[in-house]
Structures are given as C-alpha cells and as structure tokens.
Structure 1
Amino acid sequence: MQDSPAASTPYEVLGVSPTATDDELRRAYRLLLRQTHPDVGGNATKFHAVQLAWERIGSPESRAVYDRRRFDNTEPSAAPDAYAAPSSRGPATKSSLKTRMHGHPGGQARLRYLDLVREWAGRGTVIDDPYAPALIRSAPRLVRHCLAKALAEEATAQLVANLGIGFTAWHDIDTGGQTDKLDHIILGPAGLFGLLSEDWGGSVQLRRGELVGEEVPDEDRPIHHFDDAAKMIARGLKVRFTALIVVLPDGAVDEPVSLPKRGRRPMIIVIPRSRLVGVLREGLAGMERGSFEKVFELRSTLLNGIRFVNT
C-alpha cells in the first residue's frame, strides 16, 4: 500500500505544508497524537499513520532524506516503470493472451492524470516525463489518485488476461448515460461480473452500504456510482450481472465483505486483488453457475452492444 501514488505523504498525514518549520511540524505531530490516541477515543489507524509519518520526517536528518528522495528522479525504490504508460495501446493477440480482451484498461484514467498533471504544473510549463517519480510525489492527491486508479485497472486486467479461453473481458465501458464508466465486465463459466478497480492509497471499510476510509474523500460514493453504472449497462443491454466486484490492492481490505442481493440488484462484494481470480473462476458460495449455452449467448449480446469510452 505504501508504494501507491495515492498514498498520503507524511506532510499530508500531519496536516502541514512541506515548507513547515521543525517547530510547526512538532506541534502538529503532538496535537494529532493527542487527538488520535485510542485511549481517548481516537482512531487507531490514524494514530498509527501519524507515528509512521513522524518516523519519516520527524527529525531534521530523516526529513532531509525524505525530501531529497521526494525530488530525486533517480531513486531506485521509486520504480518509475510501474508508473510509465503501457508499452502497447492495442488489443492483445490471441497468441499472447488466453482471455479475449476488448478495450483499453486504465485508458481514461491515464488521460485524466495527464490532463490534471499539466493543469497543476501550469500553462506553458514543459513536462519532460509526466511519470517521473519526483513529479508524481509532489503532485496533489487528486492528481496522484488518477494515476493510482489507472494502475489499479491495469493490474486487474493483467490478472484477467490469464484466466483462459473460456473468459471474455471488456474494459473502460461507456454506460451510455450520465454515470461513470464501468471499469471492467468479465464473462466466464461462473457468470457475468462487473468490476470496479480502485486504489485510494489506504485501507477502507464497508459502512452503511458505502466504502469509507481515511484516504477516501468524504464526498465520494464509490459503491453508489458503481452500482449506477452497472445498472445502466444492464438496462441498456438487457443483461443481468451475477455480482458486482470492487477490487482493491492487498492490504486495503482485510477480508472480503459484501452487500447482499436486493431485488434485481446483484450482490456487491469487496475483495483484495489476490482473491479476484478465485472468485471469477469459482463464483460465489451458493451461486448458480451459468451453462455454456448461456455464456455463448451473453458473449454475442455483449460483443454487439458494448461501447467504449473515448480514450
């Protein structure tokens, strides 16, 4: 989780500017310790994050090391290749991937990141490499989240790509309405699944039917928007999803959690990425698996009806 572009910087955790004095940093740390300590009703996760932030920038020496890395493009641990644009934007060939893949996973999120990072840098500023680790680390969280979102979608697609010839996947699907796009649709022997790939750079919980967490903006309603997007697809193509799956990085959620099926709304489950392949292959407990004929019929419907967002 700490390698995510969306993860808060130590300065953001402590609520101070990167230009804050050592005294301002120390006061912010002590205040947050008192406010977040579990013994006085604080949040244990936030308390731990405050301590980690202080370890990284609390002393002049550690702060100097962090700041040097923050603006150093040559840092080995920055793993710039993970942020770089995909080497090929075209569809995968049958010889290289077993799963039938359609669309461009992470394409829209990548383009939004590039637009936002140029807007943040300022008109007329020349950006030699928009994926330079130093640039990413210094960008606002909204900008970093767009890149983390793209990487999450690409990571999901990589897992899906090796499911086998019995699966078909569509990525960056246009809902045909005012709702957000649908990240992925996966069709296989276990059923028809809609997927949301996300990464907020921190852990999340399911509370009152919605995902919440320290790094999730208060105004965000990811489950609500995901459900709406899937509903638009289901109505437009006259199909029914077996389940909707929110895929998060390992560590963002401890164990799979779910919202039960309600009326025509399918079950919604939230899982760590390492559990995705098993769910797509085996389905869910108590779920009726589709027949080969049903899968073949659905594939034709989806191939003829799905449209992709403009990337």
Structure 2
Amino acid sequence: MTDPFAGPLGASPYEVLGVAASATDDELRRAYRARMRETHPDTGGDAAVFIRVQRAWELIGTPEARAVFDRGRSFSSDDETDATASRSTQTRPDTRPRARAFGQPGGWRRERYLTLIREWVGRGAEIADPYAADLVRAAPRDIRHLLADALAEEATARIVADLGMGYTVWHDVAADKRGVDPDAKLDHIVLGPSGLYGLLSEDFGDPIGLRRGEIVGAHIAGAPITELIGRIRTVARQAGVRFTGAIVVVPDDQVAQAITELGKVRGLLVVVTTRSALATVLRRGVTGARPIGGTEVFDVRSRLQQRVEFV
C-alpha cells in the first residue's frame, strides 16, 4: 500500500499528530500519546487513522528520524519507482522492446506547477529546489495537486512503456483545438491489441468512491469521468477514430478494489483501476470491448499520428 506521507498531497506527520513543525520533543510525545488514545480501534477509533498515527511517530518520533524527515526529500521525480528500476537494471539490463511513445508525460502539469509555485513564493525570490518537500507541503493544495498529477502521469507512462512493442501511447494530447478550453488534454492515449483507450492519471490525495458512474471524494471538484469522456470524444472526432473505453488510474491506496468496471457511462466503457493493476487492464481489455488487430491497428495508429497535437 502506498505510504500516506509519500506524495505531495499527503498530510505531514506533524499534521497527523496535531502539532506544529516547531513543537518540542516533549510536546510531540504528548501529542502522540493523545492521538493514540483517540484513534485506537479498541476505544472506538478509526483503524486507518490509528495506523497513520503510528507511521507518523515512526517518521518523527526520535530526534534522529525527525532530523531526516525535516531535511525532506525532493519531489523532482518518483524516487521510489526510479530507485527500484535502478536496482533491477544493475543486476540484469532490461533489453525488452518498449511501447512506442510520443509526447511528454506530466510535462504540462510540471510547467504549470513551476509557474505557480514561483508566483506563490513571490516573484524575484530565489528557490533553490522547487520540488523540495518542505516547500511543496507548505504550498496551497491546488499547486500540490498539479505536482501530484504530474508524478501520477509519469508513473503511468513507465507502466505502459513496459507493455511492449505491440502498444503505442501518446502523452499530453490536446483535447480542444478550438481554443474554448486551451488547457483541456488527455493524459494518455493507449493503442494495443485490446483496443484504444483514453487514460486519466490522477492522485486525489484521499480515498475515493464511485456513485452513479462518477468519482466522488472529499477534495474532488467537478466530474472527472464525465470530463474524461468529453475529451476522448473531442479527440475521436478530430482524428476520425473510435475509442474502446476510458480508464482512470489512481494510486493503490485510494480505492478498495483494484479494478472496477463501471460498464457504459455516456456510451463509453469505463474502468477505474489502481496503478498496479493497469497493465492487467490494458493487456486483457475491458468486458464488452472488441479486440482490434492487423490492418485496423495500423489504420488507427496512422490517423492518430497524423492528427494528434500536444499541449
């Protein structure tokens, strides 16, 4: 399960314990004991919150651990995933053919993040590392959300790349050439033997639910699935292709079920999947979808390659 403190939208251990980052060690210890009593399942507390309190204490409960946490990590990349990949390539180089890829995953949102974080800090102010954890966590949620989504898109891109040469993917595809909404985009388009899919890579920061074919949650504004379907239809008209379905990809700890097929929503098959289950969805396809192959794949790829534009 994803560490709840790992991403830009995660609460800090200080917030979970209910103290300021400047709290003394004694204040921190008292707050931890109080929060343990409040959240313990045996006294009516929430088990999930209880686990977070324990994890918070592990991160800042001793002077040594606290010093490490306060120095912070950088959100410049998905450090855990990159480290895992690095370890695996040290022992055995990965020579498998990769999916064909076009565009820059996460690029648009990283650019927006860098612009807004500098505006928030103040024009002219020097920022040594715009991805430093202490700076990111202090920023407003909408700015942190941009970075969280950029990291989510980059993680999805790595997964899709490993599907192999039978797949083609386009990242950060413009979904409104008329200028009505210049920021509208499809995070990814994936073409493979199981079909043609439009993907939304999201990190909502909190667990989500599903209601009447839409995603709901504490910090969700708008209608993510409806907006995704609208953008898919825009690209479909522009390129003259038919999409098989829509896929929403979220971190593993934000949904209770790894793969949830919603059936047809507004006429398009929709799946909500965890990041770790995405490859399974793209390889096996979606229930009710028609696999494609041969000359049809070539034709769809050619149409998209000729008409896709990037944000």
Provide the residue aligned with 1:91 in structure 2: none
Deviation at 1:29, TM superposition (A): 9.8
Deviation at 1:105, TM superposition (A): 0.5
Contact 2:197–2:245 (8 Å) recurs in 1: yes
Deviation at 1:266, TM superposition (A): 1.1
> What are the equivalent positions in structure 2 for 1:43-122 lying under 5 Å apart?
45=48, 49=52, 62=61, 68-73=67-72, 82=78, 98-122=98-122
Provide the residue aligned with 2:271 in structure 1: 269
Question: In structure 2, the residue corresponding to 1:229 is in which secondary structure?
Answer: helix
> What are the equivalent positions in structure 2 for 1:241-252 lying under 5 Å apart?
241-252=243-254
Question: In structure 1, the residue corresponding to 2:253 is in which secondary structure?
Answer: coil
Deviation at 1:170, TM superposition (A): 0.4
How many angstroms apart in 1 are the aligned matches of 2:156 and 2:244? 18
> What are the equivalent positions in structure 2 for 1:103-182 lying under 5 Å apart?
103-176=103-176, 177-178=180-181, 180-182=184-186
The residue type equivalent to 2:109 in the other structure is: A
Contact 1:29–1:50 (8 Å) recurs in 2: no
Identity in percent: 45
How many angstroms apart in 2 are the aligned matches of 1:233 and 1:209? 21
Deviation at 1:228, TM superposition (A): 2.0
How many angstroms apart in 2 are the aligned matches of 1:182 and 1:240? 15
Deviation at 1:247, TM superposition (A): 1.0
How many angstroms apart in 1 are the aligned matches of 2:55 and 2:212? 29
The residue type equivalent to 1:4 in the other structure is: G
> What are the equivalent positions in structure 2 for 1:193-204 lying under 5 Å apart?
193-204=197-208
The residue type equivalent to 1:195 in the other structure is: L
The residue type equivalent to 1:130 in the other structure is: P
1:96/1:124 CA distance change after superposition, 3 Å: farther
Deviation at 1:145, TM superposition (A): 2.1
Candidates 9, 13, 37, aligned match of 2:12: 9
Q: Count the aligned residue pairs.
A: 289
Deviation at 1:276, TM superposition (A): 1.3
Deviation at 1:153, TM superposition (A): 0.6
How many angstroms apart in 2 are the aligned matches of 1:63 and 1:18? 14
Question: In structure 2, the residue corresponding to 1:260 is in which secondary structure?
Answer: strand
Question: In structure 2, the residue corresponding to 1:71 is in which secondary structure?
Answer: helix
1:71/1:30 CA distance change after superposition, 3 Å: closer
TM-score under structure 1 length normalisation: 0.76
Deviation at 1:166, TM superposition (A): 2.0
Contact 1:205–1:212 (8 Å) recurs in 2: yes
CA-to-aligned-CA distance 1:72-99 (integer Å, 9 cap, x gap): 15x6xx6865369x9xxxxxxxx99532
How many angstroms apart in 2 are the aligned matches of 1:225 and 1:40? 42
2:188 is equivalent to residue 192 of structure 1: no
Deviation at 1:253, TM superposition (A): 2.1
Deviation at 1:39, TM superposition (A): 9.9
1:152/1:186 CA distance change after superposition, 3 Å: same
1:67/1:40 CA distance change after superposition, 3 Å: closer
How many angstroms apart in 1 are the aligned matches of 2:237 and 2:209? 29
1:135/1:299 CA distance change after superposition, 3 Å: same
Deviation at 1:65, TM superposition (A): 6.0
The residue type equivalent to 2:202 in the other structure is: E
1:164/1:43 CA distance change after superposition, 3 Å: same
TM-score under structure 2 length normalisation: 0.76
Contact 2:75–2:132 (8 Å) recurs in 1: no
Contact 1:70–1:134 (8 Å) recurs in 2: no
Deviation at 1:209, TM superposition (A): 2.6
CA-to-aligned-CA distance 1:182-217 (integer Å, 9 cap, x gap): 10001111110001111233332223332233xx51
Contact 1:70–1:138 (8 Å) recurs in 2: no
Deviation at 1:274, TM superposition (A): 1.6
1:40/1:67 CA distance change after superposition, 3 Å: closer
Deviation at 1:30, TM superposition (A): 6.6
Contact 1:14–1:25 (8 Å) recurs in 2: no
The residue type equivalent to 1:283 in the other structure is: G
How many angstroms apart in 2 are the aligned matches of 1:297 and 1:289? 14
The residue type equivalent to 1:230 in the other structure is: I
1:218/1:193 CA distance change after superposition, 3 Å: closer
CA-to-aligned-CA distance 1:29-84 (integer Å, 9 cap, x gap): 979987x8989998765565467557766xxxx286676345315x6xx6865369
Q: Unaligned 5+ residue runs, structure 1?
A: 87-94
> What are the equivalent positions in structure 2 for 1:290-301 lying under 5 Å apart?
290-301=292-303
